[in-house]
Amino acid sequence: MANELGRTVTHRYMYARSWSLGDRKSPIASTPCLISLHGDPKLDKTLAPFTAITNDEIPQTLTINANLPLSPPDFDSDSPSFEARVGHVLPPSLDEADAGEPAGYGGLLPISWQRLNHDQKLTNLPTNPSIIVLVDAVQLAGQQKKLIDALVAIKHQFPGALVWAPGLAGPDNVAVLTWFGVDIFDLARSRQCAAADILLTGSGPREKVVGDAYENTDMDSQLLHWKLAINEVKSSLTSGTLRSLVEQKSLNSPKLVEHLRYHDKITRTKQGVGISHVPKDFTLQCNSSQSLANPVVTQWVDYITTQYQAPDGLDKVLLLLPCSAKKPYRMSKSHRKFLDAVGNTGFHEVMVTSPLGLVPRDLEETWPASHYDIPVTGTWSADELVRTDGMLKSLIERHNYHTVINHSSMDFELEGVDYIDTRQGLPATSSDALDNLRQAAAMLFKQHQLRNRKHHRILLDNFSSVARYKMNNHRWLSDAKIRGKPPFWRIEQDGKQIALWSNDRRGFSLSKSSIHPIAENASLKQITIKPEITWKGDIFASIVEHYDPSILSGDDLLVMQDAKPIGLARATASGWEWSSTPGMVAKGHQRL
């Protein structure tokens, strides 16, 4: 009996995954997928690559068989099969109780709320599971916080396993559950709806339309909605728009909204969960109030509020400007007018925008500031006002600004600084508002004897800010010179190119010559390759001896071996995945 499951992550977004099943070079199925249960109609094997069988004993034994040849290394005829005792499952409300009858271990791992709280062996299993079954998922979903706490704990402890939450899913919540990290789904709810003559759709259960000859509630009709929902999730994972779909589908029930809000809250502070870089054409759609709680957004807010450091010596006059639809902002018509009116480079320019709150000019080309899109209404919500006001006051408290020029559309009450409102209720690009901005800027520039920054200084200030944000520090840029023409800036040190500014990546493309300066200044997160390994290709978890748990997907990494730097890599997986995720976790970039 084969008990190995070939699987590789092909798309990831926070906890959501699309796993390719089978040979990673030519997979024959992918998640999210269905699992066939007793009583289900016959399902296509690529849609339902697994079958689950339970016996009539108490406690039950669960068997999961693959319906396709998914076993490495040959992937020809062997289909993996897993079996485990489920054990006694007590109601999740009995937090302190221990069922006493342990569930099985191995490639198939049944987990309940009690087991998570009482089975200490789960933290040190001899074999990493391929499939995890959250056996009391339905009961957990009815209680506040417990479903999310269980799923997050499972994902961090067993990042390489596929997760099934029996009886919980439908076309209406498959996107949200995928966002939480669930990979395998079943037709239990759809069968219940079919028996009640109700159609379970992507928007939730509903009565069939009376008199419509094409409307049916049989399992074929139920299955059609499942196929549409799964394909929608797969497509959104591929395009990077899953979060928008999740926010939309969460509105299908109050409980889904509750789960998503709590999941966003705890994900915000989880180490090693996030995204550092995205492709140039990636768009962060922020179309609802829930977008304010997107962990990508709140992690930016936390950084600007508590860690962001303005360029050296620039924290004298703070200039607040409105955002623009065009990114980076400076390329927009409105910002060209603002910059022309200001007429100098001695102010610290910060954009006021939703949902990010504040975006400093020196970080406007980075993710997520350069990738978000929002509907423009001309009004601010109470949450947006509170968030931005708190970020601004923190920025002022941590710096030495003596004056704030506000040309944004948001009003502030600030203490300890001179405050000049140049909008006065006028449109930002109106001639009167621009005249107000021009006069205020000229007066302050002369009054405080500020200096214009040369173009080289501006570039170095910007790159130093990006290094502090995306790396550990900017010390590796000491004595650096900026050469070239926009947008292909070369960063040189001692006559050698140590990096390029990548407009496609909106970040640094590090050269081999950067390895030693980065290592000497501890400017990158580090991973250590096992001493007996000859590193030739990409980074797999199996060859890693140590890694920084705060790694984010997209991070540049310094590769060490025997206490010496040997190269650079780019993380394809965040730190929470590195312990046991099959496949590549970082792509080799440079080698000494």
The 3-state secondary structure of 502-541 reads: ECCCCEEEECHHHHHHHHHCCCCEEEEECCCCCCCCCEEH
Q: Report whether pLDDT(87) > 80.
A: no
Kindly report, residue by residue over 256-309, the tens digit of the pLDDT. 999 999 999 999 999 999 999 998 889 999 988 899 999 999 999 999 999 999
Q: Report whether pLDDT(1) > 60.
A: no
d(CA 22, CA 292): 38
> What pairs with residue 484 in β-bridges?
489
d(CA 70, CA 8): 11
Question: Are residues 299 and 389 part of one domain?
Answer: yes
Q: Report whether pLDDT(547) > 70.
A: yes
Percent of the chain with pLDDT over 70: 98
Distance from the Cα of residue 545 to its chain's centroid: 25
End position of a domain, from candidates 398, 431, 447: 447
Residue count of the chain, please give it: 592
Question: Are residues 486 and 437 part of one domain?
Answer: no
**Separation in Å, CA 236 to CA 187, 310, 362, 438:** 22, 36, 31, 45
d(CA 348, CA 370): 18
Question: What amino acid occupies position 10?
Answer: T
- For residue 462, being part of any structural domain is answered with no
- For residue 463, being part of any structural domain is answered with no
Peptide bond into 368 cis (omega under 30): yes
Q: Report whether pLDDT(408) > 60.
A: yes
Question: Are residues 218 and 103 part of one domain?
Answer: yes
Question: Are residues 208 and 67 part of one domain?
Answer: yes
Percent of the chain with pLDDT over 90: 83
Which tokens go with 137? 């998922």
Question: Are residues 119 and 73 part of one domain?
Answer: yes
Candidates 347, 318, 304; CA nearest to 417 is 318
Question: Are residues 370 and 235 part of one domain?
Answer: no
Question: Are residues 492 and 359 part of one domain?
Answer: no
Question: Are residues 160 and 122 part of one domain?
Answer: yes
Kindly report, residue by residue over 23-81, the tens digit of the pLDDT. 988 999 999 999 999 999 999 999 999 999 998 787 789 999 999 999 988 888 778 99
- For residue 461, being part of any structural domain is answered with no
Kindly report, residue by residue over 445-487, the tens digit of the pLDDT. 999 999 999 999 999 999 999 999 999 999 999 999 999 988 8
Which tokens go with 139? 């009961």
- For residue 352, being part of any structural domain is answered with yes
User: Do β-strands 33-36 and 184-185 pair in parallel, antiparallel, or remain unpaired?
Assistant: parallel
Collapsing DSSP to helix, strand or coil, 384 comes out as helix
Kindly report, residue by residue over 326-365, the tens digit of the pLDDT. 999 999 999 999 999 999 999 999 999 999 999 999 999 9
Which tokens go with 454? 């040369």
Which tokens go with 346? 């001695």
Tokens 């239990």 belong to 188
Question: Are residues 443 and 553 part of one domain?
Answer: no
Is the C-alpha dihedral spanning 245, 246, 251, 252 positive or negative? positive
Q: 146-157 and 254-267 helices cross at what angle (nearest 10)?
A: 40
- Characterise 294 by phi-psi region: left (phi > 0), alpha (psi -120 to 50), beta (else): beta
Question: Are residues 330 and 202 part of one domain?
Answer: no
Specify the pTM.
Answer: 0.94
- For residue 276, being part of any structural domain is answered with no
- For residue 459, being part of any structural domain is answered with no
User: Do β-strands 357-360 and 348-353 pair in parallel, antiparallel, or remain unpaired?
Assistant: antiparallel
Question: Are residues 292 and 245 part of one domain?
Answer: no
Name the phi and psi angles at 22, rounded to 5.
105, -155
Kindly report, residue by residue over 227-269, the tens digit of the pLDDT. 999 999 999 999 999 999 999 999 999 999 999 999 999 999 9
Q: What's the mean pLDDT in 557-572? A: 97
Residue 393: domain span: 284-447
| Contact predicate 120/144, CB 8 Å | no
Helix/strand/coil percentages in the chain, nearest 5: 30, 25, 45
Per the structure, the count of domains in the chain is: 3
Distance from the Cα of residue 571 to its chain's centroid: 13
Collapsing DSSP to helix, strand or coil, 446 comes out as helix
Which tokens go with 360? 């400093």
Is the C-alpha dihedral spanning 512, 517, 521, 523 positive or negative? negative
Detail the DSSP E strand segments found in 74-158.
Answer: 81-85, 108-111, 131-134
- For residue 329, being part of any structural domain is answered with yes
- For residue 95, being part of any structural domain is answered with yes
Mean pLDDT over each residue of the chain, to the nearest integer: 93
Question: Are residues 491 and 405 part of one domain?
Answer: no
CATH of the domain at 411: 3.40.50.10630
CATH of the domain at 486: 3.10.400.20
